Amino acid sequence: MKIAVYSLLDDELEFFQLMEKKYNTKFTFYKHYLNIDNAKEIQGFDSIVVNARDEINSEVLDKLKEYGIKYMSTRSAGYDNIDVDYADKIGIKIANVPSYSPNSVSEFTVLSLLALIKNYNNLIINGYNRNFIRNGLVAKELRNLNIGIIGTGRIGTLTIKHLKGFYPKNIFVYSRTEKDEIKNYAEYVSLDELYKNSDVIIYHIPLSKETKDMVCKDSINKMKKGVYIINVSRGGIVNNEDLLEGLKSGHIGGAALDVYTNEIEYVNKNIKDIVLKDSVIEELFKMKNVIITPHYAFYTDEALLNMVTTSIDNIFEFMNTGKCINKIIKS
């Protein structure tokens, strides 16, 4: 079987090599993203493996159909970059990796929260510059803060459990469905109540029509003055212009963004001497109360192993049975 792997990261290679041995085959690797401009490369392959940054729109899917590809797999949980409904319409089956390591993202969320309230990013930068003045870097204690968490899936649930050990003042949770397990650690409240009472708001939700631009001028105005915002889910949840305005006005006290709408411009790239087209993120880069990381929360050895092995297993399950336990169902 001929399989093309797109958006390969160097750190993934050893895990793909394990799967080559498992299935006695060889993959063809591409480090660039798949989009309509390079879709002709697909010709001659039986299947493809992508990730969350490949652009799998209707045009690309038409090319897949034209070249006889029936199955594909994304080595990610999210798939908002894939036109799943159109794929289903033209008979292409797609699978994802629904859970590769929720703990990795949850741990990084806690790290981001602590870094924000402890000014840790600024301490590190100052230390590299041999500046050890503490003035202006007064930290906050987690036990005095109300934490709001939006979303109680696998990752959100773990974050709640992890944070409970820090004994925050309260943990407020908003989700469309309630779990009895969560009630042992946190209090379910309405979204407006969460906005009104939380000192920190953490987003653990997928990107959808309902959640796009969830952090916007209207919602920010409902939040406590000085609120910290943490987004480790999808960049599209935040309206970047409104976030910037909230930071400039002081209504938002700080933000940790591991994801960003136009992150394809900088993720996994060295942009030290490059000015990005996105003027908003260029301003965010300069703010001392903003932490921007390169979609890194998931990036552990366990997560990479699970993402690669599951995505390849998905392809062979499709090929051998016509079905897959991780098949994405159209919306």
The label of the residue with tokens 């602590």 reads 114
**240/220 Cα distance (integer angstroms):** 12
Q: What span, in angstroms and rounded, lies between the C-alpha atoms of 292 and 280? A: 13
Q: How far apart, in whole angstroms, are the C-alpha atoms of residue 35 and residue 53? A: 10
Comparing CA positions, the residue from 117, 100, 98, 187 lying closest to residue 149 is 187
> CB-based burial of residue 88 (10 Å sphere; 0-12 exposed, 13-18 middle, 19+ buried)?
middle
Strand partners, 86: none
3-state secondary structure (DSSP) of residue 133: coil
Angle at the Cα of 74 from the Cα atoms of 325 and 63, rounded to 5 degrees:
110
CB atoms within 10 A of CB 325: 11
Active site residues: 234, 263, 295
Report residue 214 CA to chain centroid gap. 15
Is 71 within 8 Å of 45 (Cβ atoms)? no
Nearest Cα neighbor of 118 from 24, 271, 228, 246 is 228
Q: Are 209 and 237 in contact (CB under 8 A)?
A: no
Other CB atoms within 10 A of residue 331 CB: 8
Report the alpha-carbon distance of residue 188 to residue 43 in Å, rounded.
Answer: 51
Query: Looking at the DSSP assignment, which residues form a beta bridge with residue 230?
Result: 202, 256
Q: Tokens 């690797």, residue? A: 29
Give the CA radius of gyration of the chain: 21
